Amino acid sequence: MTFLKILLAKALLALAFAVSILPAASEVPNVADWENVEKAAEGQTVYFHAWGGEPRINAYIRWAAAELKARYGIELVHVKVDDIAQSVSQVLAEKIAGRNRAGEVDLIWINGENFAAMRENNLLMRPGWADKLPNWRYVDTEDKPTTTVDFTIPTKGLESPWGMAQLVFLYDSAQVEDPPRTLDALVDFVAANPGRFTYPQPPDFLGNTFLKQLLVTLAPDPEVLSRPVSDDVLDETLTPVFDYLERLRPNLWRRGQTYPRNVAENRRLFADSEVEIAMTFNPADASAAIENKELPDTVRPYVLDGGTIGNSHFVAIPFNSDAKPGALVTANFLLSPEAQAIKADPRIWGDPTVLNVAELPVIDQTLFADADENPAMLSASELAPTLSEPHPSWTEELERAWLEHYGTN
Protein backbone atom coordinates (compact mmCIF):
# COMPACT_ATOMS: atom_id res chain seq x y z
CA MET A 1 0.00 0.00 0.00
CA THR A 2 1.40 3.42 -0.92
CA PHE A 3 2.12 6.11 1.67
CA LEU A 4 -0.81 8.17 0.33
CA LYS A 5 -3.17 5.22 0.55
CA ILE A 6 -2.01 4.45 4.09
CA LEU A 7 -2.73 8.02 5.16
CA LEU A 8 -6.12 8.02 3.48
CA ALA A 9 -6.98 4.68 5.05
CA LYS A 10 -6.12 6.02 8.51
CA ALA A 11 -8.32 9.03 7.89
CA LEU A 12 -11.21 6.80 6.80
CA LEU A 13 -10.97 4.88 10.08
CA ALA A 14 -12.05 8.07 11.82
CA LEU A 15 -15.44 7.78 10.14
CA ALA A 16 -16.67 5.39 12.82
CA PHE A 17 -15.98 8.02 15.46
CA ALA A 18 -17.38 11.04 13.60
CA VAL A 19 -20.36 12.16 15.68
CA SER A 20 -20.18 15.92 15.33
CA ILE A 21 -23.02 17.87 13.75
CA LEU A 22 -22.07 19.16 10.32
CA PRO A 23 -21.58 22.94 10.33
CA ALA A 24 -22.46 25.00 7.29
CA ALA A 25 -19.75 25.00 4.65
CA SER A 26 -17.77 28.20 4.27
CA GLU A 27 -18.97 30.38 1.42
CA VAL A 28 -17.44 30.06 -2.05
CA PRO A 29 -16.48 33.51 -3.40
CA ASN A 30 -17.78 34.74 -6.74
CA VAL A 31 -14.55 34.84 -8.75
CA ALA A 32 -16.24 36.90 -11.46
CA ASP A 33 -16.56 39.75 -8.93
CA TRP A 34 -12.81 40.08 -8.46
CA GLU A 35 -12.93 43.46 -6.76
CA ASN A 36 -14.99 42.02 -3.93
CA VAL A 37 -12.73 38.95 -3.75
CA GLU A 38 -9.75 41.24 -3.13
CA LYS A 39 -11.67 43.21 -0.51
CA ALA A 40 -12.69 40.03 1.30
CA ALA A 41 -9.09 38.77 1.18
CA GLU A 42 -7.68 41.75 3.05
CA GLY A 43 -6.64 40.81 6.57
CA GLN A 44 -6.94 37.05 6.00
CA THR A 45 -4.29 34.52 6.96
CA VAL A 46 -3.67 31.85 4.30
CA TYR A 47 -2.03 28.63 5.49
CA PHE A 48 -0.15 27.34 2.44
CA HIS A 49 0.87 23.69 2.72
CA ALA A 50 3.89 23.15 0.49
CA TRP A 51 7.00 21.02 0.40
CA GLY A 52 9.69 22.64 2.54
CA GLY A 53 12.78 20.70 1.50
CA GLU A 54 14.45 23.20 -0.82
CA PRO A 55 15.89 26.49 0.54
CA ARG A 56 15.44 28.33 -2.78
CA ILE A 57 11.75 27.42 -2.92
CA ASN A 58 11.27 28.46 0.69
CA ALA A 59 12.96 31.78 -0.04
CA TYR A 60 10.68 32.36 -3.03
CA ILE A 61 7.58 31.69 -0.94
CA ARG A 62 8.88 34.18 1.66
CA TRP A 63 9.20 36.77 -1.15
CA ALA A 64 5.65 36.04 -2.33
CA ALA A 65 4.38 36.33 1.25
CA ALA A 66 5.98 39.76 1.65
CA GLU A 67 4.42 40.96 -1.62
CA LEU A 68 0.98 39.63 -0.72
CA LYS A 69 1.17 41.38 2.65
CA ALA A 70 2.21 44.69 1.11
CA ARG A 71 -0.23 44.63 -1.81
CA TYR A 72 -3.32 42.87 -0.46
CA GLY A 73 -2.97 42.72 3.32
CA ILE A 74 -2.80 38.91 3.19
CA GLU A 75 -0.69 36.95 5.69
CA LEU A 76 0.71 33.94 3.82
CA VAL A 77 2.05 31.27 6.18
CA HIS A 78 4.19 28.55 4.62
CA VAL A 79 3.40 25.26 6.37
CA LYS A 80 6.42 23.17 5.40
CA VAL A 81 5.68 19.49 4.83
CA ASP A 82 7.85 16.53 3.87
CA ASP A 83 5.11 14.80 1.88
CA ILE A 84 2.00 16.63 0.70
CA ALA A 85 0.02 13.39 1.09
CA GLN A 86 0.02 14.16 4.81
CA SER A 87 -1.88 17.38 4.14
CA VAL A 88 -4.31 15.58 1.82
CA SER A 89 -5.00 13.08 4.59
CA GLN A 90 -5.52 15.93 7.04
CA VAL A 91 -8.19 17.54 4.84
CA LEU A 92 -9.91 14.16 4.39
CA ALA A 93 -9.93 13.57 8.15
CA GLU A 94 -11.50 17.00 8.67
CA LYS A 95 -14.23 16.20 6.15
CA ILE A 96 -15.01 12.86 7.78
CA ALA A 97 -15.22 14.58 11.18
CA GLY A 98 -17.73 17.07 9.77
CA ARG A 99 -15.35 20.03 9.81
CA ASN A 100 -16.79 21.79 6.77
CA ARG A 101 -15.22 25.14 7.62
CA ALA A 102 -12.18 26.51 9.43
CA GLY A 103 -9.93 23.81 7.96
CA GLU A 104 -6.22 23.81 8.72
CA VAL A 105 -5.24 23.98 5.03
CA ASP A 106 -6.15 27.03 2.92
CA LEU A 107 -3.93 26.47 -0.11
CA ILE A 108 -2.04 23.33 -1.10
CA TRP A 109 0.75 22.58 -3.58
CA ILE A 110 -0.27 19.41 -5.42
CA ASN A 111 -0.39 17.40 -8.61
CA GLY A 112 -0.70 13.79 -9.74
CA GLU A 113 -2.02 11.24 -7.28
CA ASN A 114 -2.57 13.89 -4.60
CA PHE A 115 -4.85 15.86 -6.93
CA ALA A 116 -6.60 12.66 -7.94
CA ALA A 117 -7.18 11.75 -4.28
CA MET A 118 -8.57 15.20 -3.40
CA ARG A 119 -10.80 15.22 -6.47
CA GLU A 120 -12.09 11.71 -5.86
CA ASN A 121 -12.92 12.47 -2.22
CA ASN A 122 -14.51 15.87 -2.97
CA LEU A 123 -11.90 17.74 -0.95
CA LEU A 124 -11.48 20.65 -3.39
CA MET A 125 -13.34 23.94 -3.53
CA ARG A 126 -15.98 23.79 -6.24
CA PRO A 127 -17.02 24.86 -8.82
CA GLY A 128 -13.88 25.26 -10.94
CA TRP A 129 -12.24 28.63 -10.36
CA ALA A 130 -8.71 28.62 -11.76
CA ASP A 131 -9.67 29.41 -15.34
CA LYS A 132 -11.66 32.40 -14.09
CA LEU A 133 -8.72 34.11 -12.37
CA PRO A 134 -7.73 37.45 -13.94
CA ASN A 135 -4.21 36.20 -14.72
CA TRP A 136 -5.44 32.99 -16.34
CA ARG A 137 -5.38 34.77 -19.71
CA TYR A 138 -1.59 34.49 -19.68
CA VAL A 139 -1.45 30.69 -19.20
CA ASP A 140 -0.11 28.75 -22.19
CA THR A 141 -2.77 26.06 -22.38
CA GLU A 142 -2.03 25.30 -26.05
CA ASP A 143 1.69 24.50 -26.01
CA LYS A 144 1.67 23.43 -22.35
CA PRO A 145 -1.39 21.15 -22.22
CA THR A 146 -0.43 19.78 -18.81
CA THR A 147 -1.62 23.11 -17.36
CA THR A 148 -5.17 21.75 -17.78
CA VAL A 149 -4.60 17.98 -17.60
CA ASP A 150 -2.96 16.55 -14.48
CA PHE A 151 -1.61 13.00 -14.97
CA THR A 152 -4.31 12.30 -17.61
CA ILE A 153 -7.06 13.84 -15.42
CA PRO A 154 -8.67 17.13 -16.64
CA THR A 155 -8.31 19.74 -13.93
CA LYS A 156 -11.60 21.50 -14.78
CA GLY A 157 -10.42 24.62 -12.99
CA LEU A 158 -10.08 22.87 -9.61
CA GLU A 159 -6.37 23.74 -9.37
CA SER A 160 -4.27 26.58 -10.75
CA PRO A 161 -1.00 25.84 -12.57
CA TRP A 162 2.10 27.15 -10.83
CA GLY A 163 5.10 25.74 -12.69
CA MET A 164 6.41 23.24 -15.20
CA ALA A 165 8.59 20.20 -14.63
CA GLN A 166 10.47 17.70 -16.77
CA LEU A 167 12.93 14.94 -16.00
CA VAL A 168 16.44 16.14 -16.83
CA PHE A 169 19.77 14.39 -16.30
CA LEU A 170 22.90 16.20 -15.11
CA TYR A 171 26.58 15.53 -15.72
CA ASP A 172 29.83 17.39 -15.19
CA SER A 173 31.31 18.06 -18.63
CA ALA A 174 34.77 18.28 -17.04
CA GLN A 175 34.46 14.66 -15.89
CA VAL A 176 32.13 12.96 -18.40
CA GLU A 177 32.67 13.52 -22.11
CA ASP A 178 29.66 11.67 -23.54
CA PRO A 179 26.79 11.04 -21.10
CA PRO A 180 24.38 8.14 -21.73
CA ARG A 181 21.39 9.30 -23.77
CA THR A 182 19.36 6.08 -23.90
CA LEU A 183 18.34 3.58 -21.24
CA ASP A 184 20.60 0.92 -22.77
CA ALA A 185 23.49 3.38 -22.80
CA LEU A 186 22.83 4.11 -19.12
CA VAL A 187 23.18 0.40 -18.30
CA ASP A 188 26.47 0.32 -20.22
CA PHE A 189 27.70 3.49 -18.50
CA VAL A 190 26.90 2.12 -15.05
CA ALA A 191 28.60 -1.18 -15.87
CA ALA A 192 31.73 0.69 -16.97
CA ASN A 193 31.56 3.03 -13.95
CA PRO A 194 30.25 0.94 -11.05
CA GLY A 195 28.94 2.85 -8.07
CA ARG A 196 28.67 6.12 -9.99
CA PHE A 197 24.90 6.24 -10.51
CA THR A 198 21.81 5.86 -8.36
CA TYR A 199 18.27 7.18 -8.04
CA PRO A 200 16.21 8.34 -5.05
CA GLN A 201 14.25 5.73 -3.17
CA PRO A 202 10.52 5.69 -4.02
CA PRO A 203 8.12 7.10 -2.95
CA ASP A 204 10.34 10.19 -3.24
CA PHE A 205 8.88 12.09 -6.19
CA LEU A 206 12.11 12.01 -8.21
CA GLY A 207 12.54 8.29 -7.60
CA ASN A 208 8.94 7.77 -8.73
CA THR A 209 9.60 9.87 -11.81
CA PHE A 210 12.59 7.74 -12.77
CA LEU A 211 10.37 4.64 -12.49
CA LYS A 212 7.72 6.32 -14.63
CA GLN A 213 10.35 7.21 -17.24
CA LEU A 214 11.18 3.51 -17.46
CA LEU A 215 7.49 2.67 -17.62
CA VAL A 216 6.58 4.99 -20.49
CA THR A 217 9.69 3.99 -22.42
CA LEU A 218 9.51 0.23 -21.92
CA ALA A 219 5.77 -0.52 -21.73
CA PRO A 220 4.76 -3.06 -24.41
CA ASP A 221 1.51 -1.13 -24.99
CA PRO A 222 1.88 2.55 -24.00
CA GLU A 223 -1.84 3.14 -24.57
CA VAL A 224 -2.72 1.31 -21.34
CA LEU A 225 -0.85 3.97 -19.34
CA SER A 226 -3.48 6.61 -20.09
CA ARG A 227 -6.10 4.51 -18.29
CA PRO A 228 -6.44 3.27 -14.70
CA VAL A 229 -4.46 0.12 -13.95
CA SER A 230 -6.24 -3.13 -14.73
CA ASP A 231 -5.09 -6.52 -13.48
CA ASP A 232 -5.04 -8.07 -16.93
CA VAL A 233 -2.18 -5.82 -18.13
CA LEU A 234 -0.39 -5.06 -14.85
CA ASP A 235 2.26 -7.78 -14.79
CA GLU A 236 3.19 -7.59 -18.46
CA THR A 237 3.49 -3.80 -18.22
CA LEU A 238 5.62 -3.70 -15.06
CA THR A 239 7.88 -6.65 -15.88
CA PRO A 240 10.13 -4.73 -18.34
CA VAL A 241 10.64 -1.99 -15.72
CA PHE A 242 11.94 -4.38 -13.07
CA ASP A 243 13.93 -6.39 -15.57
CA TYR A 244 15.70 -3.15 -16.42
CA LEU A 245 16.26 -2.23 -12.77
CA GLU A 246 17.85 -5.63 -12.22
CA ARG A 247 20.28 -4.88 -15.04
CA LEU A 248 21.24 -1.64 -13.29
CA ARG A 249 21.27 -2.77 -9.69
CA PRO A 250 24.59 -4.66 -9.33
CA ASN A 251 26.54 -1.59 -10.47
CA LEU A 252 24.58 1.12 -8.68
CA TRP A 253 25.97 3.23 -5.85
CA ARG A 254 26.47 0.90 -2.87
CA ARG A 255 25.52 -1.99 -5.18
CA GLY A 256 21.86 -1.03 -4.97
CA GLN A 257 21.68 -2.19 -1.35
CA THR A 258 20.67 1.30 -0.26
CA TYR A 259 19.37 4.38 -2.06
CA PRO A 260 19.32 8.14 -1.46
CA ARG A 261 16.23 8.92 0.60
CA ASN A 262 15.24 11.97 -1.39
CA VAL A 263 16.19 14.40 -4.14
CA ALA A 264 18.32 16.48 -1.76
CA GLU A 265 20.48 13.48 -0.83
CA ASN A 266 20.81 12.53 -4.49
CA ARG A 267 21.98 16.08 -5.26
CA ARG A 268 24.54 15.90 -2.45
CA LEU A 269 26.03 12.73 -3.88
CA PHE A 270 26.41 14.45 -7.25
CA ALA A 271 27.86 17.64 -5.74
CA ASP A 272 30.38 15.54 -3.77
CA SER A 273 31.33 13.61 -6.95
CA GLU A 274 30.17 10.31 -5.48
CA VAL A 275 28.01 9.81 -8.56
CA GLU A 276 28.63 11.10 -12.08
CA ILE A 277 25.07 11.26 -13.41
CA ALA A 278 22.23 12.84 -11.44
CA MET A 279 18.59 13.63 -12.08
CA THR A 280 16.32 16.58 -11.46
CA PHE A 281 12.70 17.39 -12.27
CA ASN A 282 13.48 21.03 -12.93
CA PRO A 283 15.03 21.86 -16.33
CA ALA A 284 16.59 25.01 -14.86
CA ASP A 285 18.00 23.27 -11.79
CA ALA A 286 21.61 23.08 -13.03
CA SER A 287 21.66 26.79 -13.83
CA ALA A 288 20.13 27.68 -10.46
CA ALA A 289 22.59 25.46 -8.59
CA ILE A 290 25.54 26.99 -10.46
CA GLU A 291 24.29 30.49 -9.68
CA ASN A 292 24.11 29.55 -6.00
CA LYS A 293 27.59 27.94 -5.99
CA GLU A 294 26.07 24.54 -5.24
CA LEU A 295 27.47 22.89 -8.37
CA PRO A 296 30.51 23.63 -10.57
CA ASP A 297 29.94 25.75 -13.68
CA THR A 298 30.86 22.81 -15.90
CA VAL A 299 27.65 20.92 -15.03
CA ARG A 300 25.30 20.50 -17.99
CA PRO A 301 21.74 19.19 -18.32
CA TYR A 302 20.45 16.82 -20.99
CA VAL A 303 17.43 14.67 -21.79
CA LEU A 304 17.25 11.15 -23.17
CA ASP A 305 16.79 10.54 -26.86
CA GLY A 306 13.07 10.32 -27.52
CA GLY A 307 12.20 12.67 -24.67
CA THR A 308 11.57 12.54 -20.94
CA ILE A 309 8.50 12.64 -18.76
CA GLY A 310 7.07 16.03 -17.77
CA ASN A 311 4.10 17.66 -16.07
CA SER A 312 2.80 20.81 -14.40
CA HIS A 313 2.44 21.42 -10.69
CA PHE A 314 -0.48 23.33 -9.20
CA VAL A 315 -2.01 25.04 -6.20
CA ALA A 316 -5.51 24.15 -5.03
CA ILE A 317 -7.99 25.30 -2.39
CA PRO A 318 -9.58 22.77 0.00
CA PHE A 319 -13.37 22.75 0.33
CA ASN A 320 -13.30 23.84 3.98
CA SER A 321 -10.88 26.74 3.87
CA ASP A 322 -12.15 29.83 5.67
CA ALA A 323 -9.65 31.98 3.78
CA LYS A 324 -10.94 31.24 0.28
CA PRO A 325 -10.73 34.89 -0.92
CA GLY A 326 -7.14 35.11 0.34
CA ALA A 327 -6.28 31.79 -1.30
CA LEU A 328 -7.77 32.96 -4.60
CA VAL A 329 -5.80 36.20 -4.55
CA THR A 330 -2.65 34.25 -3.70
CA ALA A 331 -3.18 31.83 -6.60
CA ASN A 332 -3.80 34.74 -8.96
CA PHE A 333 -0.67 36.55 -7.78
CA LEU A 334 1.41 33.39 -8.31
CA LEU A 335 0.20 33.44 -11.94
CA SER A 336 1.22 37.05 -12.53
CA PRO A 337 4.05 37.70 -15.03
CA GLU A 338 6.13 39.29 -12.27
CA ALA A 339 5.80 36.35 -9.86
CA GLN A 340 6.31 33.81 -12.64
CA ALA A 341 9.41 35.59 -13.96
CA ILE A 342 11.03 35.82 -10.53
CA LYS A 343 10.24 32.14 -9.91
CA ALA A 344 11.81 31.20 -13.27
CA ASP A 345 15.00 33.15 -12.53
CA PRO A 346 17.74 30.57 -11.84
CA ARG A 347 19.19 32.89 -9.21
CA ILE A 348 15.93 32.62 -7.28
CA TRP A 349 14.28 29.23 -7.93
CA GLY A 350 14.59 28.41 -11.63
CA ASP A 351 11.11 26.87 -11.95
CA PRO A 352 9.85 27.08 -15.58
CA THR A 353 6.85 29.31 -16.21
CA VAL A 354 3.36 28.14 -17.14
CA LEU A 355 2.77 31.36 -19.10
CA ASN A 356 2.97 32.03 -22.83
CA VAL A 357 5.85 34.49 -22.64
CA ALA A 358 5.67 35.38 -26.34
CA GLU A 359 2.09 36.61 -25.91
CA LEU A 360 2.72 38.74 -22.81
CA PRO A 361 2.86 42.53 -23.01
CA VAL A 362 6.33 43.52 -24.18
CA ILE A 363 7.24 45.06 -20.83
CA ASP A 364 6.49 41.70 -19.14
CA GLN A 365 8.39 39.66 -21.73
CA THR A 366 11.57 41.46 -20.75
CA LEU A 367 11.26 40.01 -17.22
CA PHE A 368 12.09 36.53 -18.47
CA ALA A 369 15.68 35.44 -19.08
CA ASP A 370 16.63 33.94 -22.44
CA ALA A 371 17.54 30.26 -21.94
CA ASP A 372 19.50 30.25 -25.22
CA GLU A 373 22.13 32.46 -23.60
CA ASN A 374 22.71 30.08 -20.68
CA PRO A 375 24.77 26.94 -21.39
CA ALA A 376 23.41 25.27 -18.27
CA MET A 377 19.81 25.55 -19.49
CA LEU A 378 18.08 23.66 -22.28
CA SER A 379 16.00 25.46 -24.89
CA ALA A 380 12.41 24.42 -25.56
CA SER A 381 13.53 22.54 -28.69
CA GLU A 382 16.23 20.68 -26.74
CA LEU A 383 13.70 19.62 -24.11
CA ALA A 384 11.25 18.28 -26.70
CA PRO A 385 9.48 15.98 -26.82
CA THR A 386 7.91 15.92 -23.38
CA LEU A 387 6.42 12.52 -22.56
CA SER A 388 3.02 12.41 -20.86
CA GLU A 389 2.55 11.21 -17.31
CA PRO A 390 0.73 7.90 -16.90
CA HIS A 391 -2.55 7.70 -15.01
CA PRO A 392 -1.94 8.21 -11.23
CA SER A 393 -2.85 4.60 -10.46
CA TRP A 394 0.32 3.48 -12.25
CA THR A 395 2.43 5.50 -9.82
CA GLU A 396 0.80 3.65 -6.93
CA GLU A 397 1.53 0.28 -8.54
CA LEU A 398 5.13 1.22 -9.29
CA GLU A 399 5.68 2.24 -5.66
CA ARG A 400 4.10 -0.96 -4.39
CA ALA A 401 6.11 -3.17 -6.73
CA TRP A 402 9.38 -1.36 -6.01
CA LEU A 403 8.94 -1.80 -2.27
CA GLU A 404 8.16 -5.49 -2.78
CA HIS A 405 11.32 -5.94 -4.82
CA TYR A 406 13.77 -3.78 -2.88
CA GLY A 407 12.20 -2.83 0.46
CA THR A 408 13.36 0.29 2.27
CA ASN A 409 16.69 1.49 3.65
Do the beta carbons of residue 285 and residue 365 sit within 8 Å?
Answer: no
- Both 108 and 251 in a single domain? no
Does 111 lie in the same domain as 82?
yes
Kindly state whether residue 379 falls inside one of the protein's structural domains.
Answer: no
pLDDT of residue 1: 44
pLDDT of residue 54: 87
How many independent structural domains does the chain possess? 2
Please indicate, yes or no, if residue 380 is contained in any of the structural domains.
Answer: no
Task: Give yes or no: residues 271 and 243 share one domain.
Answer: yes
User: Are residues 116 and 158 located together in one domain of the fold?
Assistant: yes
Are 16 and 94 within one domain?
A: yes
83 and 112 part of one domain: yes
Using 70 as the pLDDT threshold, list the residues of the chain that sit under it. Answer: 1-26, 369-372, 408-409
Is there a single domain that holds both residue 40 and residue 175?
no
Residue 134 lies in a domain: yes
Would residue 382 count as lying in a domain? no
Please indicate, yes or no, whether residues 15 and 53 belong to a single structural domain of this protein. Answer: yes
Q: Are residues 88 and 22 in the same domain?
A: yes
Is residue 383 situated within a structural domain?
no
The total of other beta-carbon atoms located within 10 Å of residue 306's CB is 12
Give residue 136's domain range.
3-162+313-374
CB 320 within 8 A of CB 95: yes
pLDDT for the residue numbered 17: 40
211: CATH: 3.40.190.10
Residues 245, 328 within the same domain: no
The residues, any chain, with a CB within 8 Å of residue 377's CB and separated by 6 or more, are: 283, 284, 286, 287, 301, 346, 371
Same domain, 158 and 32: yes
pTM reported for the whole predicted model: 0.81
Is 218 part of a structural domain of the chain?
A: yes
Query: Same domain for 401 and 287?
Result: yes
C-alpha distances (whole Å) from 241 to each of 149, 237, 387 are: 25, 8, 17
From the list 166, 192, 167, 160, the residue with the least C-alpha distance to 179 is 192
Whether residue 86 is contained in a domain is answered as yes
Does a structural domain hold residue 327?
yes
